[in-house]
Structure 1
Amino acid sequence: LAVCITRRGVYMSRHLARALSSSLPSSSPSPSSSSPRVSRASRIMSRASAGAVATLSTPERLQARVDACNTITAADYASYVPFIVDGHAVGALQPWFADALVAACGSDALERSSDGAVRTSASLTTPDARSAAIAPGLRKLHDDGVITGWRDEIFPCTMGYGREPLLRVERAAASLLGVRAFGVHVNGFVTLANGERELWVAKRAKDKQTFPGKLDHLVAGGLPDGMAPSVCVVKECGEEASVPEWLAKQAKPVGVVSYAMNYNGCCKRDVLFCYDLELPEDFVPVPDDGEVERFERF
């Protein structure tokens, strides 16, 4: 089994999709073209806990799990205040946060246009200048308790992956700013002697800033500014699961999941680079950075 269903969506690896696709009836409905795409398979096995009876999930239910993450509606977008950086709409702000952001950053950093949008000052002509001007305001909002879960990690604000950053901000502010954030997710699995597969699942620490105590992939983490996904995979594998570098480098890129989620009223926009990592049967992941409470093999 190499599929993981979490609060961030659904990811099915290629080899599992291939193994199951042959049993799909030709009349199986296809997901909506406007929805995030999920590899089609006739069924997956899931277990709520060790020893639980396996249950079946249809392709429709898999798609529903992704749709549960992709919850931003047209009405939501209409209610947000556009966040414009160097003439590009990179984010979406709740009205109350737009007011707080402008007040905290000051007129030298941000301006309100006649249509109500929040724009970076025209005098700030480089990404570094814009980032330096806005950073003190974001820190003030954190000190005031508005931005919580400060990470001391810098995320780029871009129009798409691989594009030049227009602005760089603290990771904890990404969802409040409504900017696109990137991350890596790794499914770690073992292949048994009888050919069956089992999946290593992490239980998030109870003190995590987001989704404490929930089940997760073997490894999942945000993609810092300037770091390639493959490099981030190796880093996160070592930090979260004590996977040695030589083994982590064998992770294979297998797809991308993206969505826009209404998260506590914010526009949380995630793009997740998904990887498969086959592990030796005798390998046991060990939490190392405190973000995972324990691992369990399903």
Structure 2
Amino acid sequence: MASSGFCSLGPTVTSLFSSHALARWRSSSISPPPLRISRALSAATTVPISSSFTWDDVIETGREEYTPHNSSDLTGFLEKVNRCNRASEKLAEFIPFVIEEQIVGYIHKGFTEYLREFHDIFTFSQNGSCPDRVDGFVTLNLMLEKPEDRTRAVADVIKILGDKGIIPGIRNELYPVKPSFNAPVFFSLERAAAPYFGIKGYGVHMNGYVERDGQKFLWIGKRSLSKSTYPGMLDHLVAGGLPHGISCGENLEKECEEEAGISKAIAYRAIAVGAVSYMDIDQYCFKRDVLFCYDLELPEDFVPKNQDGEVESFKLIPVAQVANVIRKTSFFKANCSLVIIDFLFRHGYLLISPTISLSKETSYLRLYIPDFNALTLKNLLVLDLVMMII
């Protein structure tokens, strides 16, 4: 039974933070139950990001005929997965960020030098009492007992580091800091600072599609050139980070209105289809993101209208052509490619085999599939699957 996208979310599967956890997971003998969608994608080389293209470039790139049976080279899709899962070999350069004896993030040893100046706020331990690690951890001064006190104290630090250009792109938007999705919030942190503290971030990404004469089309947005991140690149019809104090359903509804002019009545039809996660290390930044994915079938005559100035324009493109654009270019914002690859699998544009053995070198796109009958994400299944080159 399909569920509405506006469902409550249960606890997510424990993420793979340390190299020890990665090793344990990769060597696990547990086999997932057979389902119609499951996949993990092998690594490939990183591709550059470019926003100097037009819609004409997008359409021309997608023209080549594409079906799941005539694409013998899926390297382009694998590259996009790899782009969001870089530098796992550098995990040892990070130490845990611990609050109330719970790991909430990971901070690069080099970045900790900036935090040591604020000794009345941050405390550094070398006694090895943190789970799974023996090289110390970072925590907050124990005098900061209440979430609001921690939020204010850390915000003062972020303001100083932002003014110095150490943490660029301050957005004045708070992310909750907690060890897992349903855990209590220990404090709130400026969104731009989240990757510098290795905080697990959450977002909602929605594929809006139209079906005409048996063919599916995706509405694709082109980000405004004034955006501070990924200006001019391709994006989903609707997507956004999940800030503190708002549910996934409420956030999706808000983003639908702001980004595409989708009414509440239509937005409520969005179906929760699972989630993808990735871990990406880029110098001092460690992104540990979980993207809750939604599908929304739109009326044939619907035309999106951006309301907040963050989208330059929209284009309705056949799904098969979108697949070609992802496979052959870097036009899409990096994590959007993962969510669309998930869409391609679920809607039959890419085929996989659940019987391929996983190697230690495999880079994973992890998928969490909700129990739709329960209308929650409480019964999450971790599916480790490998794309089959056809």
TM class, shorter-length: 0.7 to 0.9
The answer for the alignment partner of 2:110 in structure 1 is: 96
SS of the residue 1:90 aligns to: strand
* Unaligned stretches of 5+ residues in structure 2: 1-34, 44-55, 127-134, 318-390
Cα distance in 1 for residues equivalent to 2:211 and 2:40: 30
The answer for the alignment partner of 1:246 in structure 2 is: 265
SS of the residue 1:100 aligns to: helix
The equivalent position to 2:66 in structure 1, one of 33, 55, 62, is 55
SS of the residue 2:246 aligns to: coil
Cα distance in 1 for residues equivalent to 2:239 and 2:185: 23
Q: Give percent identity, aligned residues only.
A: 39
User: Which residue identity is paired with 1:108?
Assistant: D
CA-CA distance at 1:81 after TM superposition: 3.0
The residue correspondences of 1:154-165 to structure 2 (distance < 5 A) are: 154-165=174-185
Are residues 1:212 and 2:231 paired?
Answer: yes
The residue correspondences of 1:134-213 to structure 2 (distance < 5 A) are: 134-192=154-212, 194-213=213-232
SS of the residue 2:116 aligns to: helix
The equivalent position to 1:120 in structure 2, one of 140, 143, 148, is 140
The answer for the alignment partner of 1:68 in structure 2 is: 83
The answer for the alignment partner of 1:231 in structure 2 is: 250
Are residues 1:77 and 2:96 paired?
Answer: no
CA-CA distance at 1:59 after TM superposition: 9.5
SS of the residue 1:141 aligns to: helix
Cα distance in 1 for residues equivalent to 2:72 and 2:244: 38
Deviates more, 1:119-128 or 1:155-164: 119-128
Cα distance in 1 for residues equivalent to 2:217 and 2:197: 39
Closer, same or farther in 2 for the Cα pair 1:219/1:263, shift >3 Å? farther
* Unaligned stretches of 5+ residues in structure 1: 1-16, 22-28, 35-46
Instruction: Return the structure number with greater strand share.
Output: 1
Are residues 1:107 and 2:116 paired?
Answer: no
The answer on whether the counterparts of 1:81 and 1:98 sit within 8 Å (CA) in structure 2 is: no
Q: How many residues align?
A: 257
TM-score by length of 2: 0.61
The answer on whether the counterparts of 1:156 and 1:167 sit within 8 Å (CA) in structure 2 is: yes
The equivalent position to 1:221 in structure 2, one of 235, 240, 245, is 240
Closer, same or farther in 2 for the Cα pair 1:101/1:50, shift >3 Å? same
TM-score by length of 1: 0.79
User: Which residue identity is paired with 2:203?
Assistant: G
Structure 1 segments (4+ residues) deviating >3 Å: 29-34, 54-64
Closer, same or farther in 2 for the Cα pair 1:70/1:59, shift >3 Å? farther
The answer on whether the counterparts of 1:259 and 1:269 sit within 8 Å (CA) in structure 2 is: yes
Larger RCO (CA under 8 A, 6+ residues apart) = 2
CA-CA distance at 1:58 after TM superposition: 6.4
CA distances 1:238-297 after superposition (whole Å, capped 9, x unpaired): 111111111111111101000111235411111000000111111111122121111111
CA distances 1:37-77 after superposition (whole Å, capped 9, x unpaired): xxxxxxxxxx962252233556954455323312241x311
The residue correspondences of 1:259-278 to structure 2 (distance < 5 A) are: 259-278=278-297
User: Which residue identity is paired with 2:59?
Assistant: A
